[in-house]
Amino acid sequence: MQETRTFADFGLHPDIVAALADTGITAPFPIQAMTLPVAMSRHDIIGQAKTGTGKTLGFGLPLLHNVVAPGDEGYAAMERPGAPQALVVAPTRELAVQVAGDLTKAGSRRGIRVLTVYGGRAYEPQIEALEKGVEVVVGTPGRLLDLASKGHLTLAHARTVVLDEADEMLDLGFLPDVEKMLALTPAGRHTMLFSATMPGAVVALARLYMTQPTHIRAMSDDGDDRRTVAAVEQFAYRAHAMDKVEMLARILQAEGRGLTIVFTRTKRTAAKVSDELAERGFAAAAIHGDLGQGAREQALRAFRSGKVDVLVATDVAARGIDVEAVTHVINYQCPEDEKTYLHRIGRTARAGAAGVAVTFVDWDDLHRWALINKALELGYPEPEETYSSSPHLFEQLNIPEGTRGRLPRSARTREGLSGEVLEDLGGPEQRRSGGRGAGGRPDRERSNQGRPGHSGNEGRSSNEGRSGSEGRPGSEGRAATEQRGDGGGRRRRRRTNRAAQG
């Protein structure tokens, strides 16, 4: 029997190993065991791995190991003490927060300062932290480039650069910003790029900005997609639009059901379903691009802490959500394609746990589902017509007999969204709209609109249509004002009001 290796076997700084042990982490995941030997020698890396495989520590530990901490010998002799020595770029706010949290824990014993930077928050605290000095900056492209262009963030001393989920950055139109940031970093930097897929633009980026990178692929030869599918018990039902909420409410009362993510294709549907579930007694919250950053973080904190056990989310907003205790994923609206399907159901069955995925298929989505089923060989070519009262629904999902569409008062034990404080982020978005994203955006988000390859900053509410069907004829997100989620709708309303007054 082969002896299990520990993080101490890779030559990591003892304080980093001790900090990991403090959180109960001692043995590396496969992607970490493959990445650490290469990254510790500061060779450039292209890592092909999906979210949830443990890649954050794979690139994060070598990054922290090579940082000169404030208490280290030689810190004062550095060319510019306190200037960021490492940069991690992530496509979404939620992923940036998660990565920064992991790095903060791992670097806690060394006193390494990690700053998270993203749009939707006030500039002042981020600028103040940069002035005091930080060793690692983790952020989203828009705000990072904004701070750099204004002279608050210098990347000239960032000897380590990580691009996390590069394919998602491509999908969101961030690659031009990433290229601008890479041009601000030293030529001899250590670069690590991680991506679930390798589209042409990502490969071109790697060729241009990396030096003889080592390609590490943490996916099985027989198809990582098949393994992901096999780890989740899946069901597909042909459902009626008017009966979906009733079906959902009964599924949410299944035996053994824990934290649950409900996916929708449109922002409007996410808000509507969340409100209807709350009215039926469930501790539910929504997360989508029209919400302000404060409201999004409030919902995520409530979900992670268990105050809310049902999170209704759009695909873009849910990127970067990594919560191990999710037992059920419910596709309230059929995913756009097999890639989106896998992304959604991958939110459950984490860290070896069991998971359940349920997909509602509307009549007009049958062709889309047929393509997903064929690509992944799911075995549900024609989902069974199902109603909230169908016996097979109760039997297959372990729903107690007699369950209705409202949560009994005796079962309403969670605090709900109101139990989590809505943080005052102090930015222009917060001042104008009290935390709701529809009313106003940070300056850079608004200035990006209309630029090629841009439709806003990290909130990217308009980009949510790229993962779903918002803004397309016949979809639930028909209105352009819903699609944009910005001031454009208000300008049109003002013109209409003036015409009416005239």
- 107-154 pLDDT, tens digit per residue, is 999 999 999 999 888 999 999 999 999 999 999 999 999 999 999 999
Residue where the block lists tokens 């268990």: 306
CA 350, 354, 360, 365 torsion: positive or negative?
A: positive
Distances (CA, A) of 350 to 99, 324, 326, 361, 413: 17, 5, 8, 25, 25
Q: How far apart are CA 305 and CA 416, in angstroms?
A: 10
Span 231-237, average pLDDT: 90
Q: Among residues of the chain, what percentage have pLDDT more than 70?
A: 79
Q: How far apart are CA 247 and CA 276, in angstroms?
A: 12
3-state secondary structure 333-395: CCCCCHHHHHHHHCCCCHHHCCCEEEEEECHHHHHHHHHHHHHHCCCCCCCEECCCCCHHHHH
Q: How far apart are CA 125 and CA 398, in angstroms?
A: 49
Q: Strand 160-163 relative to strand 233-238: parallel, antiparallel, unpaired? A: unpaired
Band the pLDDT of 329: cuts 50, 70, 90: very high
Laid out side by side, the sheet with 114-117 consists of 114-117, 136-139, 86-89, 160-163, 190-195, 45-48, 214-217
- When the pLDDT of each residue in the chain is averaged and rounded to a whole number, the result is 82
Band the pLDDT of 462: cuts 50, 70, 90: very low
What residues have CB less than 8 Å from 9, skipping those under 6 apart? Answer: none
Confidence check: pLDDT of 461 > 70? no
CATH of domain 224-419: 3.40.50.300
pLDDT of residue 36: 94
Encoded tokens for 372: 């997903």
Encoded tokens for 49: 């791995």
pLDDT of residue 172: 77
Whole-number CA gyration radius for the chain: 23
Q: How far apart are CA 99 and CA 88, in angstroms?
A: 9
Confidence check: pLDDT of 402 > 60? yes
Each residue's pLDDT tens digit, 349-378? 766 677 899 999 999 999 999 999 998 888
Confidence check: pLDDT of 463 > 70? no
Q: How far apart are CA 487 and CA 18, in angstroms?
A: 49
Three-state DSSP state, 319: coil
Distances (CA, A) of 474 to 62, 160, 364, 366, 477: 49, 46, 10, 15, 8
Confidence check: pLDDT of 484 > 60? no
pLDDT of residue 243: 96
What residues have CB less than 8 Å from 151, skipping those under 6 apart? Answer: none
Do the domains at 7-217 and 224-419 have one common CATH topology? yes
Confidence check: pLDDT of 21 > 70? yes
Span 18-33, average pLDDT: 91
pLDDT of residue 189: 95
In the CATH scheme, what is the homologous superfamily, with its name and number, of domain 7-217?
P-loop containing nucleotide triphosphate hydrolases (3.40.50.300)
Q: How far apart are CA 247 and CA 250, in angstroms?
A: 5
pLDDT of residue 452: 37
Each residue's pLDDT tens digit, 148-179? 999 999 999 999 999 998 888 887 789 899 99
pLDDT of residue 410: 94
Task: Confirm if 218 and 48 have CB atoms less than 8 A apart.
Answer: yes
Q: How would you classify residue 42: left for phi > 0, otherwise alpha for psi between -120 and 50, otherwise beta?
A: left
For residues 87 and 463, the model is more confident at 87
pLDDT of residue 426: 62
| Bridge partner list, 359 | 236, 331
| Bridge partner list, 253 | none
Three-state DSSP state, 6: coil
pLDDT of residue 318: 65
Band the pLDDT of 486: cuts 50, 70, 90: very low
323 burial (CB, 10 Å; 0-12 / 13-18 / 19+) is middle
Q: What residue ranges do the domains of the chain occupy? A: 7-217, 224-419
Confidence check: pLDDT of 398 > 60? yes
Task: Confirm if 135 and 113 have CB atoms less than 8 A apart.
Answer: yes
Q: What is the DSSP letter of 108?
A: G
pLDDT of residue 425: 65
pLDDT of residue 198: 84
Q: Return the minimum-mean-pLDDT range out of 159-173, 234-248, 252-266, 347-361.
A: 347-361
Q: Strand 160-163 relative to strand 86-89: parallel, antiparallel, unpaired? A: parallel
Task: Confirm if 209 and 183 have CB atoms less than 8 A apart.
Answer: no
Distance of CA 456 to the CA centre of its chain: 17
For residues 297 and 127, the model is more confident at 127
pLDDT of residue 421: 82
221 burial (CB, 10 Å; 0-12 / 13-18 / 19+) is exposed
Each residue's pLDDT tens digit, 32-70? 999 999 999 999 999 887 666 788 999 999 999 999 999
Torsion on CA atoms 226, 228, 231, 236, rounded to nearest 10: -80
Confidence check: pLDDT of 83 > 80? yes
